[in-house]
Amino acid sequence: MIELREAAAQIRSGQRESRTAVVPAALTATMPVDTVRAAAGEAVKFARRHGGHGLHGAVLEQLEAEVLRLANEFLEDAPTTVVARCRSTRDELFRLLDQPRWPQQARQLHALAARTCGYLAIADSDFFGEYAAADDHARSAWQLAELADQDELRSWVRSVQSAIAFWAGHWQTADEFAAEALELAITRSSGSRAIAMRARALARLGDVATLRRTAEIQVPDLAHTGETGIVLFTDMNLQRCLGGAYLWIGDHDNARAHLEQALDGYERDRAFDYAVIAVTRLDLAATHLARGELRAAIAVTEPVLTMPDTRRLEGARRRVRHLRSDLATAPFHTDPSARRWADELDAFATHTVLAG
């Protein structure tokens, strides 16, 4: 008996030594990120398949966590990669909604599906400049938000629709969507977004008086746990959009003040939000150019023009195109630095996130 115990102890000791010797400490550090995420995704899908038609509470919690995580990833990850992950999550939500659900669970799934469609609408518009696809995704998001019966979600979707209509050149429609979003807004984030979207549309419509009244509206100081990442609209973002609106009505002093305040805040507190920082710099460059400040305009665009191809999103490219048009009509034709800057703007505008 003693010999058996000693033998078993030796075997256990050998197993511990074998495990220590065979598994390198650096293994996890060398695992590809895609492999790690794929393995986690397989486990999640297995759990969902065995959750039954009633959906276990843990399944809904996992889906909500994924949708919230995607909101943050849209700000930081490679656009084409995060869009692919968002499509996968959206398709999973659609699959679950195609099955009979309890009403409360169906509303939760509809709300999450509305978010993912809204994310993809923003990507279609701001990443790739595909406004028709963005509009289709946004319409689906609105229908899903209606089924979820959440005013805060409705407000967010209407603001997304306003932004899409604005960049497609439908400024009256953009104003109407933004006005509805403002009526539905409950939180500070949604109220600020609606005000910003309406101010931009009113600027393009030339309704300066209503624009200035809209800019003075006080938003409620409330927040929602789902407002994160691409869903969260910060006070700095409101300042940025108001700066753009003032630029378009020719109030360059106000535009400069708002845009500089927004840029300082973003680079101090949200340096990871490269897409918003890029467009803020480009709007500020347009303001400098309108004031005849060529050197300041060139300087503020330098960090943008050296961005990697994979970060040259449509939101920045369309501003570069507008900036290039403004430069062509500005009194700088004989300035060598203006000509060099024009070449740099042209080079930036020819590269897209898709090429990257």
Confidence of residue 303 (pLDDT cuts 50, 70, 90): very high
pTM of this structure: 0.80
pLDDT of residue 17: 44
In 3D space, the residue among 237, 243, 242, 332 whose CA is nearest the CA of residue 286 turns out to be: 243
Query: Per-domain residue ranges for the chain?
Result: 234-356
Closest CA to 81 of 48, 127, 46, 140: 127
Q: Does 30 score more than 60 pLDDT? A: no
Question: What is the structure's pLDDT at 353?
Answer: 52
pLDDT at 13 over 60: no
Read off the pLDDT band of 351 (50, 70, 90). Answer: low
- Average of pLDDT values for 93-120? 94
pLDDT at position 26: 44
Q: Whole-angstrom Cα distance, residue 249 to residue 145? A: 34
- Residue 142 phi/psi, 5° resolution? -65, -45
Supply 97's token pair: 């909604």
- The CATH number for 234-356, chosen from 1.10.287, 2.60.120, 1.25.40, 1.20.140, is 1.25.40
Per mean pLDDT, which range of 266-270, 275-279, 352-356 is the poorest?
352-356
- Per-residue pLDDT of 246-255, as tens digits, reads 999 999 999 9
Mean pLDDT across the chain: 87
The pair phi, psi for residue 235, each rounded to 5°, is -60, -35
Query: CA 199, CA 118: separation in Å to the nearest integer?
Result: 21
pLDDT at 99 over 80: yes
Could you give the CA distance from residue 127 to residue 356 in angstroms, rounded to a whole number?
A: 12
Q: What is the DSSP letter of 77?
A: S
The Cα-based distances of 252 to 25, 204, 212, 287, 288 in angstroms read 59, 15, 14, 6, 8
pLDDT digits (tens, 9 = 90+) for 126-149: 888 899 999 999 999 999 999 999
Answer whether 112's CB lies under 8 Å from 92's CB: no
Half-sphere exposure of 172 (CA within 13 A, CB side): 0
Q: What angle do CA 97, 102, 107 make, to 5 degrees?
A: 60
Which tokens is 313 given? 């999103």
Residue 101 pLDDT greater than 90, yes or no? no
In sequence order, which ranges of 149-251 are alpha helices (DSSP H)?
A: 151-167, 171-184, 188-205, 208-215, 235-248
Burial of 331 (0-12, 13-18, 19+ CB in 10 A): exposed
Look at residue 122 and tell me whether its pLDDT is greater than 70.
yes
What's the confidence (pLDDT) of residue 145? 98
User: According to the model, what pLDDT value does residue 355 have?
Assistant: 40
Record the tokens describing residue 72, joined without a space: 């943050």
